[in-house]
């Protein structure tokens, strides 16, 4: 039984695959019709699916089925996309999605190629981190960009339907399967019925459909303040909003360590646990965004208060 049919002629082939992928990881059974490049299919195969994903016409290298029920059974049991060469079945609702991202293994859905090393995205993820930590639901963040993370320090997520706070800004992203666009994947997750929390897309593309379906969008091609995401629904990103020369006031610092969640190499723990900004600091402002005491402040600001 197929629940969704997504066609490349309607959305574009890459977006259709992304929507189908988002549907499939929310336990949905989906048929994607289009001309899908091998690289795109490999990205899906590498991370796997949870529902069923049938691709038509049958791509080279995938098992091919004419019977939709056999195709669905194989795809679900092997957690992999399969080819389909039969007649297009009618889409029939099958079940209510019970998908919750915290049932997943940490970083299962992460396949990053565009990993930022220039700190330009640190303030963006600091904003998202601060917004998410205030929530008591289970948000899911799909992104076209990623931060590098330490493989030795994996987040301690548990297989429970509760939100576990990430330990670093890099762990804010839950799904990133480049080159498949985040906006399309988020759209599929929303269509799949994800209700455990907000769906956030951090996108380099111009597709705002996820926001129109009730999700939240950070458009990296537009200017704006990502710290206002939940207030506005759709925002851009302007790193210059947060840039400057930053100082540390040791009298205000309570040694909480929140600034080190950025994993920024320009920040080190100094005497008595007070952070020190090194000469390599580029003044991105991420550590100040993370500081809840206002101990890291921008030179020239009238008051020593944290930015958000």
Provide the whole-model pTM: 0.89
User: Tokens 């988002």 label which residue?
Assistant: 22
Q: DSSP state, 60?
A: T
The two structure tokens encoding residue 149: 């993370």
Q: Burial level of 258, CB count in 10 A (0-12/13-18/19+)?
A: buried
Q: Name the CATH code of domain 242-298 (choices 3.90.245.10, 3.60.90.10, 1.20.950.20, 3.30.70.20).
A: 3.30.70.20
* Max CA separation in the chain (angstroms): 71
For residue 276, the surrounding DSSP H or E stretch is strand 275-277
Chain-centroid distance of CA 242 in Å reads: 22
- pLDDT tens for the chain, 308 residues: list them: 899 999 999 999 999 999 999 998 888 999 999 999 999 999 999 888 888 999 999 999 999 999 999 999 999 999 999 999 999 998 887 766 666 665 555 556 777 765 556 688 999 999 999 999 888 888 889 999 988 755 444 444 443 444 456 778 888 888 899 899 999 999 999 999 888 889 999 999 878 888 889 999 999 999 999 999 999 999 999 999 999 999 999 999 999 999 999 989 899 988 888 999 999 999 999 999 999 888 998 987 765 544 44
Instruction: With beta carbons less than 8 A apart as the criterion, state whether 110 and 175 touch.
Output: yes
Instruction: Tell me the backbone φ, ψ of residue 251, rounded to 5 degrees.
Output: -75, -25
Does residue 57 have a cis peptide bond before it, meaning omega lies within 30 degrees of 0?
yes
pLDDT in tens, 146-171: 887 554 444 444 434 444 567 788 88
Any idea where the domains of the chain sit in the sequence?
A: 4-84, 101-239, 242-298
Secondary structure (3-state) at 61: coil
End-to-end CA distance of the chain: 48
DSSP structure string for 188-242: HHHHTT--SS-EEEEESS---HHHHTT-EEEETTS---GGGHHHHSEEE--GGGT
Buried b (16+ CB within 10 A) or exposed e, 194-216: bebbbbbbbbebebbbbbeeebb
Q: Burial level of 238, CB count in 10 A (0-12/13-18/19+)?
A: middle
DSSP structure string for 133-175: TT-SS--EEEES-EE---TTS-----SSSS----SSGGGG--E
């Amino acid at each position: 039984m197929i629940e969704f049919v997504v066609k490349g002629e309607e959305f574009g082939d890459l977006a259709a695959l992304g929507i189908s992928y988002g549907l499939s990881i929310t336990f949905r059974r989906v048929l994607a019709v289009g001309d899908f490049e091998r690289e795109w299919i490999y990205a899906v195969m590498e991370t796997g699916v949870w529902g069923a994903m049938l691709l038509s016409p049958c791509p080279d290298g995938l098992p091919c089925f004419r019977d939709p029920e056999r195709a669905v059974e194989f795809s679900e049991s092997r957690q992999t996309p399969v080819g389909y060469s039969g007649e297009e079945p009618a889409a029939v609702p099958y079940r209510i999605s019970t998908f919750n991202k915290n049932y997943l293994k940490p970083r299962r859905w992460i396949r990053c190629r565009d990993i930022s090393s220039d700190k330009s995205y640190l303030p963006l993820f600091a904003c998202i981190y601060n917004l998410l930590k205030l929530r008591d639901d289970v948000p899911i963040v799909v992104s076209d960009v990623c931060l590098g993370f330490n493989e030795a320090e994996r987040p301690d997520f548990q297989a429970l339907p509760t939100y576990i706070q990430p330990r670093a800004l890099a762990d804010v992203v839950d799904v990133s399967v480049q080159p498949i666009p985040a906006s399309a994947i988020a759209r599929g997750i929303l269509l799949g019925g994800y209700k455990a929390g907000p769906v956030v897309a951090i996108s380099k593309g111009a597709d705002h459909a996820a926001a129109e379906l009730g999700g939240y969008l950070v458009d990296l091609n537009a200017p704006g303040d990502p710290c206002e995401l939940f207030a506005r629904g759709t925002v851009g990103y302007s790193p210059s909003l947060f840039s400057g020369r930053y100082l540390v006031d040791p009298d205000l610092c309570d040694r909480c360590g929140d600034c080190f969640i950025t994993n920024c190499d320009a920040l080190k723990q100094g005497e008595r646990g007070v952070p020190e900004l090194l000469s390599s600091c580029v003044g991105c402002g991420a550590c100040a965004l993370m500081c809840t005491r206002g101990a890291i402040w921008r030179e020239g600001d009238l008051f020593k208060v944290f930015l958000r």
